[in-house]
Amino acid sequence: MKLQKTLALATGIVVAMAAGSVLAGSKTLDTVKAAGKVQCVVNPGLTGFASPDDKGVWKGFDIDLCRAFAAAIFDDPSKTAYKPGTGKTRFTILRSGEADVITRNSTWTFVRDVDLGFDFVGVNYYDGQGFMVSKDLGIKSAKQLDGATVCIQTGTTTELNLADYFRTNKMTFQPVPTEDSAESRVNFEKGACDVYTTDASQLAAQRSALQKPGNYVILPEIISKEPLGPVVRHGDNVWGDIIRWSLNAMIVAEELGVTQANVEKMKSSANPEVRRLLGVEGGLGKMLGLSNDFAYRIIKHIGNYGEVFEKHIGVNTPIGLDRGLNNLWNRKNSDGSNGILYAAPFR
Amino acid sequence: MFSFWYKGKFRRIFFQALAIVIFAGFGFFLYYNTSTNLARLNIAPGFEFMDEIAGFMPTTTGMNLTGFDLNKSTHGDVFVVGMFNTLIVAIMGVIFATILGFVMGILRLSKNLILSFVASAYVEGMRNIPLLLWILIWYFGIILAGPSVRGSVSFFDIIFINKRYVALPQPLLTEAIWMILGGIIAAIVFIFFLKKWADQRRDQTGRNFPVFWVSIGVIFFIPLILLNVAGLSVSWEYPILKGFNYIKGIQLPGSYMAMVLALSFYTGAYIAEIVRAGILAVTSGQIDAARSIGLRPGQISRFVVIPQALRVIVPPLTSQYLSLTKNSSLAVAIGYTDLVNVFTGISMMQTGNALEIIMLTMLFYASVSLFISLFMNWFNRRVAIVER
């Protein structure tokens, strides 16, 4: 009996190893191809990041990331399906296999990465938690918030950061926990709380959706690090690689000056890294199990990272976010600070 | 050939056995499905997370009677806070729904057209709009339309009402409170014996004793006399405005008020119909008979109509109490910190122990429901017809 078990185990390992070395296949990629679409968990409604427009078409920064995966796999960015997930339900949707990837401003943390059984494969937005208050209060700093009523979204890292911050500064607060950001916004606008706290990017997005955005200020304190990025299930490394390098392709394209407009011309560029990125030489895409020009497809259909940023959440949109930390590592912002966006090379 | 199929005994046993097999099979399927999926996902279930520090605030400080401390309370304490917050909504809801239901049910039978119309409009309005909508209307439409914290409506400078909460004075736990509690217990014991004596006297002499009014007097006066004799008085902690909010005292959150109002108005409508049905079930011959032996209208209701109506009212009332308790889980829609919101919501998200947390939550609701059922069954036996 014992021998049998050992034998079975050994056979299993050998078969698994053989399969791994020969096929390097991805179960998730197979199901995505069979379904004919990439299924992404997205925010149920966050202007600029993910929200349906008046015709019911999903638009936004996170949506375009999902569309980029579809472009890379199918050469057709419309082959996507969106599963709106609240702070509470998003991980369950991914874990149960109802979706293939989360593109919903989710913070990369130790517990989520290690204990919950997920893999964070990159960062598409470096964020931090901030506070928004009404101008009438005349408050200049988060240190003045002792005793305030705070609107928070449940199931996110924000409620833990908030508690930590108030504990550290020996202040108290009254929580108003709600399930999604739209609900928090209504509570805040109607005066059920003094302060609205969430990631600074979301605060900007939520402020643009308030009736009188000019009446509210975002306080200068950023109380946490919130690296937001796409999440996949732990264990399917090939699928994780596809997601990671699709995102990296958008960042590297910006670095190399490849844009949606010039991507066709860039194919005949002399720069070897551009040629490898666009699949003219090197055969990188094949190693992922995709077509060699997967990055070319992304840039052609979606654009590079900077283009997507400016289109949905940049300074010329109602959200009006500066590139800030999300600028490339070798570019200067208007205030002289550097970005920290740094993607591994296509080599 | 198949004659055994038509034997009553065989059929009884066969279908019983079939039911058991199907039930056991379903149970095994659930167990198998859960355990294989957990193994597939590499998750080992366990309750260790209950001892980890929660690190978030699951309730407002103005309604923190379980003493939750952000610095050291655990997910287990979050469970306690959640249960407490759910229970106070359910208990207050049951009390108000019962009062409202009895009043409206009786009004609907009133010969006064305006009163019966008001009661009918109430019942139909409540029953024909979904509860979730009522909760949202009460909270976003009514409570949040109230005054701001600084513009709070004040009653005698000790109660303050605004859109966020109702701030009330809180009695301090001094000797006086224990004396009042002791006084009330003594009064209840006294009333118990008084009732026995009054019943005996009525059986022997036929004379009535006003037990009800005397009891009310006793409940109020025994604690008061005790306090005066001991020379103690209750001290209160009054709410005061400091910074953004009122501090000290008790602050009942607006979401709590909205939940209690929405649940009791909604369930009250169903109870009104049950009460109306119960009263109509007492045949008019009973009332005529009572009148003919010379009972006054008040006595007719007390000794003839109500006892018979209760037999019809109590069983369906139980299921209304059960729905009210379970409906309180809709609190998550308006951010009230009930069990589903803070434990099944926040703790589950922070720890990832979905299976354990859902199981504990189900266990809680099942226990509360069973307790209500047991209590109402006991009450039902007391009011049911005693068959001789």
Closest residue to A155, CB basis, from B244, B247, B345 = B345
pTM of the model: 0.78
Sign of CA dihedral B195, B200, B203, B207: negative
Judged against a pLDDT cut of 50, whether residue A14 lies above it is answered with no
Write out pLDDT tens, residues A257-300.
999 999 999 999 999 999 999 999 988 999 999 999 999 999 99
Closest listed residue to residue B191, CA positions, set B210, B172, B214? B214
Q: B58 to chain A: which residues are within 8 Å by CB? A: 175, 177
Same domain, A116 and A237: yes
B268 assigned to some structural domain: yes
Write out pLDDT tens, residues A247-259.
999 999 999 999 9
Interface of A with B (CB under 8 A): 87-88, 91-92, 95, 111, 115-117, 145-149, 154-156, 159-160, 162-164, 166-167, 172-179, 183, 186-187, 190-194
Q: A-B interface: how many C-beta pairs under 8 angstroms?
A: 98
A166 assigned to some structural domain: yes
Same domain, A192 and A236: no
Contact assignment for B346 to A163 by CB distance below 8 Å: no
Which residues, at least 6 apart from B374, have a Cβ–Cβ distance to it below 8 Å? none
Same domain, B177 and B111: no
Quote ipTM for the complex. 0.75
Average pLDDT, chain A: 88
| CATH number of the domain that residue A252 is part of | 3.40.190.10
Closest residue to A116, CB basis, from B337, B345, B352 = B352
B30 assigned to some structural domain: yes
Same domain, B65 and B100: yes
Same domain, A179 and A37: no
Write out pLDDT tens, residues A315-326.
999 888 889 899
Q: Which of A223, A244, A263 is the last residue of a domain?
A: A223
Same domain, B276 and B379: yes
Which residues, at least 6 apart from A224, have a Cβ–Cβ distance to it below 8 Å? A128, A129, A157, A161, A165
Number of domains in chain A: 2
Same domain, A136 and A201: yes
Q: A117 to chain B: which residues are within 8 Å by CB? A: 41-43
Tokens coding B292: 């003919």
Q: In terms of residue numbers, what domain contains A198? A: 129-223
Percent of chain B exceeding pLDDT 90 equals: 43
Judged against a pLDDT cut of 70, whether residue A219 lies above it is answered with yes
Q: A145 to chain B: which residues are within 8 Å by CB? A: 244
**Most confident range, picked from A11-20, B313-322, B341-350:** B313-322
Q: In terms of residue numbers, what domain contains B329? A: 61-128+264-383
B249 assigned to some structural domain: no
Contact assignment for B144 to A149 by CB distance below 8 Å: no
What's residue B35's pLDDT?
83
Task: Kindly state whether B341 is in contact with chain A, defined as any CB-CB distance less than 8 angstroms.
Answer: yes
What's residue B62's pLDDT?
78
Strand order in the sheet with A80-84: A80-84, A38-42, A101-102, A231-233, A118-120
Task: Kindly state whether B248 is in contact with chain A, defined as any CB-CB distance less than 8 angstroms.
Answer: no
Same domain, B19 and B84: no
Q: Which of B189, B215, B234 is the last residue of a domain?
A: B234
Judged against a pLDDT cut of 60, whether residue B67 lies above it is answered with yes
B48 assigned to some structural domain: no
**Residues written for chain B:** 388
Number of domains in chain B: 3
Average pLDDT, chain B: 88
Residue A117 near residue A214 (C-beta atoms within 8 A) = no
Task: Kindly state whether B70 is in contact with chain A, defined as any CB-CB distance less than 8 angstroms.
Answer: yes
H or E stretch including B11?
helix B8-40
What's residue A24's pLDDT?
53
B342 assigned to some structural domain: yes
Same domain, B269 and B373: yes
A19 assigned to some structural domain: no
Write out pLDDT tens, residues B14-46.
889 999 999 999 999 988 888 887 777 666 778
Same domain, A239 and A120: yes
Same domain, A233 and A112: yes
Q: B349 to chain A: which residues are within 8 Å by CB? A: 87-88, 91, 154-156
Same domain, A134 and A64: no
Same domain, B276 and B321: yes
Q: Which one-letter DSSP state was computed for residue A345?
A: P
Contact assignment for A117 to B43 by CB distance below 8 Å: yes
Which residues, at least 6 apart from B163, have a Cβ–Cβ distance to it below 8 Å? A190, A191, A192, B143, B144, B145, B146, B147, B148, B149, B254
Closest listed residue to residue A101, CA positions, set A116, A115, A121, A125? A121
Q: Which of A223, A245, A260 is the last residue of a domain?
A: A223
Same domain, A32 and A119: yes
What's residue B206's pLDDT?
77
Write out pLDDT tens, residues B114-153.
999 999 999 999 999 999 999 999 999 999 998 988 888 8
Same domain, A211 and A235: no
Contact assignment for A192 to B71 by CB distance below 8 Å: no
Q: Which residue of B has its CA nearest to A158?
A: B56
What's residue B388's pLDDT?
60
Pick B180 or A344 by higher pLDDT: A344
Same domain, B371 and B299: yes
